Amino acid sequence: MEHDAHTEAPTHAVPPSEDATVDDWARDDAEPMSVESGAAPAEVAAADAGADAPHAPSPSAAVAAEGVKEIQSSLQSLELKINVATQEDAHVVEDDVDQTKRHLNVVFIGHVDAGKSTTGGQILFLSGQVDDRTIQKYEKEAKDKSRESWYMAYIMDTNEEERVKGKTVEVGRAHFETEHTRFTILDAPGHKSYVPNMISGASQADIGVLVISARKGEFETGYERGGQTREHVLLAKTLGVAKLVVVINKMDEPTVKWSKERYDEIEAKMVPFLKSSGYNVKKDVQFLPISGLVGTNMKTRMDKSICSWWDGPCLFEVLDRIEVPLRDPKGPVRMPIIDKYKDMGSVVMGKIESGTIREGDSLLVMPNKSHVKVIGLNLDESKVRRAGPAENVRVKLSGIEEEDVMAGFVLSSVANPVGAVSEFIAQLQILELLDNAIFTAGYKAVLHIHSVVEECEIVELIEEIDMKKKKEADPKKKKPKRKLLFVKNGAIVVCRIQVNNLICIEKFSDFPQLGRFTLRTEGKTVAVGKVVDVPPAGSPTF
Ligand code: GTP
Ligand code: MG
């Protein structure tokens, strides 16, 4: 469901690092570590607004973090020297990834035609990865297809169908760097038919860039019911995208002309919605105006002659400075497999959600409990010896046939493997049932949880949670013992869910990335939720 953007360009996707001898051993320490808090999904946001973002630093925390950074960077350079000296076969590690920079996956989301691919393409152009000749070629090709203004999007939209229709279908993938960060861009499709692909992109991301078109009428269409702006935000939050950069795009457009009123109008409408989706707007969200097509306020701050009222930062600055909670590199290995292929062995692809994978490691592919050995590890285009949390990697395995691996399986440590279950207890929020359907035991939907896509059935409604009452809950008061038969749109309900095949999931409180999910029917997201309980270890059922 993904493709590498910009394969035709002559330059390498990641600019080569100056020091090609440095390996990846210092990667874990490249930035201060904090434990993933697991931002709460939308359904709990109303109850604990603000409590789900403990990582945005207070001023004093920021000072302390600076100190820690300094110590860590000197430790890191020391470690780098030691590692370079002790590494026996540095030459086999074709290492052009700058290991001293942190790595973040950023998904571009938003309504169809908001300018996600254009902005992504412009980022690659501005960071020097696409040369003028390629741009000229794309300009010509776009013109031939009567899609003149789409040439920047062609950098990300690489297949013919996407270029002809001017719509992203598969999640485009590309890499770029800012001063302190290596980014993997995941360019999601905005069209409602491709929401499952968007879910796959967002589930791999740490942060999101929500692209909104300021053009007259376009913001409105994207924002209204049925538009993808709201759906994408809710999905991103549920899927673990901790921070959002909201870019108000197309500010150059003749109906906008860098109007402050238009910018303010859109921001004012988005803020309450983002809050209700579970984002702490002060800590987790940053707005800024750009023109993705022209490239304004992206790599450098814009000139006052273009926009007199904007004093804030440009996009590269915001992305470079964004603070995200890091996951524990020493935790048990959890890597949901998103894809696989054969290449003198079985190669699996995915994002490491917890732990560190090293060459030579013995691991388990779950739920099959297949014992495998890591015989190679690739990060972007480079071979590495190990990779930590949040890295998108390709892992070559021995001990398993490629046919025996499926998307949704999880690469896991042997000592503390992920559970394989056929039922779980979830707390979910009903968003929008089709045709006023009621939500009862027997309701069937498609479950999307990390890279798993499975038919599921709600087998028992356990309890409806009343957010207002919950706040004044009286622990002495006994709950009525009446059985809950149904709930309606908007309800928050605890229920038991079953699937036919074994799936590898975790409690949200233990591994948020493997414990949050969406339910979809007939191409619409009907509910978002989190796993609150799983059967005891070793048992697929309660
Ligand atoms: P999907 O992938 O189909 O969801 O669309 P997208 O969000 O990737 O939009 P895309 O980048 O394909 O751009 C859609 C149209 O908007 C193209 O015609 C772009 O040229 C135009 N566009 C994008 N950004 C800007 C901008 O900053 N200014 C102006 N004027 N047009 C823009
Ligand atoms: Mg696109």
| Domains of the chain with bracketed CATH | 102-321 (3.40.50.300), 334-413 (2.40.30.10), 420-533 (2.40.30.10)
- Select from 141, 187, 131, 142 the least CA-distant residue to 9: 131
Name residues whose C-beta falls within 8 Å of residue 132's C-beta, 6 or more positions apart in sequence.
none
Q: Other C-beta atoms within 10 Å of 203: how many?
A: 29
pTM score, two decimals?
Answer: 0.71
CA of 292, nearest ligand number: 1
Query: For residue 296, which atom of ligand 1 is closest to its CA?
Result: 27
> Which residues are 244's β-sheet partners?
208, 285
Please give the pLDDT value at position 4: 59
Q: Other C-beta atoms within 10 Å of 77: how many?
A: 13
CA dihedral (209, 210, 214, 218) in degrees, to 10, reads 140
Do residues 457 and 443 lie in contact, with contact meaning Cβ atoms separated by under 8 Å? yes
Structure tokens at 296: 């304004």
- Select from 521, 539, 541, 519 the least CA-distant residue to 529: 519
pLDDT < 70: residue spans in the chain: 1-100, 326, 467-481
Structure tokens at 124: 């690659």
Name residues whose C-beta falls within 8 Å of residue 508's C-beta, 6 or more positions apart in sequence.
38, 41, 515, 516, 530, 531, 532
Write b or e for each residue in 219-253: b if 16 or more Cβ atoms lie within 10 A of its Cβ, otherwise e. bebbbeeebbbbbbbbbbbbbbbbbbbbbbbbbbb
d(CA 34, CA 54): 10
Q: Identify the residue whose C-alpha is closest to ligand 1 atom 14.
A: 113
Q: Classify residue 23 by its DSSP letter.
A: -
| Test site for ligand 1: of 186, 291, 293, most ligand atoms within 8 A of the Cβ | 293
Distance 19 CA to ligand 2 centre (A): 35
Q: Classify residue 341 by its DSSP letter.
A: E
d(CA 277, CA 266): 16
Q: Identify the residue whose C-alpha is closest to ligand 1 atom 24.
A: 115
Q: Other C-beta atoms within 10 Å of 67: how many?
A: 10
Structure tokens at 416: 């503390």
CA of 218, nearest ligand number: 1
Does the C-beta of 118 come closer than 6 Å to ligand 1?
A: yes
Question: Which CA distances in Å does 505 have to 99, 197, 354?
Answer: 31, 20, 13
d(CA 309, CA 162): 36
Query: For residue 121, which atom of ligand 1 is closest to its CA?
Result: 11
Q: Write out the H or E segment, with its range, that includes residue 73.
A: helix 59-86
> Which residues are 173's β-sheet partners?
4, 186
Distance 153 CA to ligand 1 centre (A): 7
Structure tokens at 58: 């207070």
Phi, psi of 526 (to 5 degrees): -100, -25
> Which residues are 527's β-sheet partners?
430, 519
Please give the pLDDT value at position 441: 93
Residue-wise pLDDT for 379-399, tens only, equals: 877 899 999 988 889 999 999
Ion ligand 2, residues whose Cβ is below 5 A away = 116-117, 168
Distance 168 CA to ligand 2 centre (A): 4
Angle, in degrees to the nearest 10, between helices 228-238 and 260-276: 50
Distance 150 CA to ligand 1 centre (A): 7
Phi, psi of 468 (to 5 degrees): -70, -45
Question: Which CA distances in Å does 343 have to 96, 401, 402, 420?
Answer: 22, 11, 9, 28
- HSE at residue 47, side-chain half, CA atoms within 13 A, is 16
Q: Other C-beta atoms within 10 Å of 79: how many?
A: 15
Please give the pLDDT value at position 468: 53
d(CA 50, CA 48): 6
Question: Which CA distances in Å does 377 have to 284, 352, 374, 460?
Answer: 33, 12, 7, 43
Does the C-beta of 252 come closer than 6 Å to ligand 1?
A: yes
Does the C-beta of 112 come closer than 6 Å to ligand 1?
A: yes
